[in-house]
Amino acid sequence: MLKVDNIFFQYGGRTILSDVSFSVKKGELFGIMGPNGSGKTTLLKLISGIYPCKSGEIYLKGKQIQNYKQKELAKIVAVLSQHAEESFSYQVKEVVALGRYAHQKNWLQSQSKEDQEIVQGAMEITGVSHLQDATIHELSGGEKQRVYLAQALAQQPEILLLDEPTNHLDLSHQKELLDNLKEWSKKNNLTVISIFHDLNLAGLYCDRLLMLHEGMAEAISSPQQVLQEKMVKKVYQTDVKQIPHPKLAAPQIALLPKIEHSGKQLIIDESYLTASKNHLAMTVPKPLKTLSSGVTGAGVGWYTNFVNRHVDKSYRCDDYQQEMRSYLRANHFIPEQTVGMMTAVYIEDAAYKSVVCKDLSVFIVVTAGVGNAVDAARAMDHSSELLPGTINIWIFVNGELSEEAYIQSVMTATEAKASVLRCQKIMDPITGTIATGTSTDSILIAATQEGARAEFAGTIAPLGKLIAAGVTECLTESLKKRNDRMKK
Ligand X SMILES: Nc1ncnc2c1ncn2[C@@H]1O[C@H](COP(=O)(O)OP(=O)(O)OP(=O)(O)O)[C@@H](O)[C@H]1O
Positions in the binding site for ligand X (CB under 6 A) = 11, 16, 34, 36-42
CB-based contacts of 436: which residues, under 8 Å, 6+ apart?
374, 375, 376, 377, 417, 418, 421, 422
Q: CA 248: distance to chain centroid?
A: 9
User: How near is the Cβ of 217 to ligand X at its closest, in Å?
Assistant: 13
User: How near is the Cβ of 229 to ligand X at its closest, in Å?
Assistant: 21
User: How near is the Cβ of 35 to ligand X at its closest, in Å?
Assistant: 7
Tell me which long-range contacts 413-417 makes (C-beta under 8 A, separation of at least 24).
413/443, 413/445, 413/467, 413/468, 413/471, 414/443, 415/459, 415/468, 416/467, 416/468, 416/471, 416/472, 416/475, 417/391, 417/393, 417/441, 417/471, 417/475
- Kindly report the CA angle at 99 between 170 and 174, in degrees rounded to 5? 15
Q: For the CA atoms of 40, 41, 47, 52, what is the dihedral angle to 10 degrees? A: -110
User: How near is the Cβ of 169 to ligand X at its closest, in Å?
Assistant: 17
By beta-carbon proximity to ligand X, the closer residue of 39 and 301 is: 39
DSSP secondary-structure letter at 94? Answer: H
CB-based contacts of 128: which residues, under 8 Å, 6+ apart?
92, 96, 143, 146, 147, 150
Give the closest residue to 211 by CA, choosing from 200, 193, 226.
Answer: 226
User: How near is the Cβ of 204 to ligand X at its closest, in Å?
Assistant: 20
DSSP secondary-structure letter at 101? Answer: G
By beta-carbon proximity to ligand X, the closer residue of 41 and 129 is: 41
User: How near is the Cβ of 142 to ligand X at its closest, in Å?
Assistant: 19
User: How near is the Cβ of 15 to ligand X at its closest, in Å?
Assistant: 10
User: How near is the Cβ of 32 to ligand X at its closest, in Å?
Assistant: 8
Q: What is the CA radius of gyration of the chain?
A: 31
By beta-carbon proximity to ligand X, the closer residue of 238 and 433 is: 238
Q: In whole angstroms, what is the distance from residue 303 CA to residue 300 CA? A: 9
Residue pair 99/148 in contact (Cβ under 8 Å)? The answer is: no
By beta-carbon proximity to ligand X, the closer residue of 16 and 268 is: 16
Q: In whole angstroms, what is the distance from residue 208 CA to residue 24 CA? A: 9
By beta-carbon proximity to ligand X, the closer residue of 39 and 203 is: 39
DSSP secondary-structure letter at 260? Answer: -
User: How near is the Cβ of 77 to ligand X at its closest, in Å?
Assistant: 18
Q: In whole angstroms, what is the distance from residue 385 CA to residue 375 CA? A: 16
Sign of dihedral through CA atoms 159, 1, 50, 164?
Answer: positive
By beta-carbon proximity to ligand X, the closer residue of 71 and 234 is: 234
User: How near is the Cβ of 237 to ligand X at its closest, in Å?
Assistant: 14
By beta-carbon proximity to ligand X, the closer residue of 16 and 65 is: 16
By beta-carbon proximity to ligand X, the closer residue of 50 and 376 is: 50
By beta-carbon proximity to ligand X, the closer residue of 30 and 333 is: 30
By beta-carbon proximity to ligand X, the closer residue of 147 and 211 is: 211
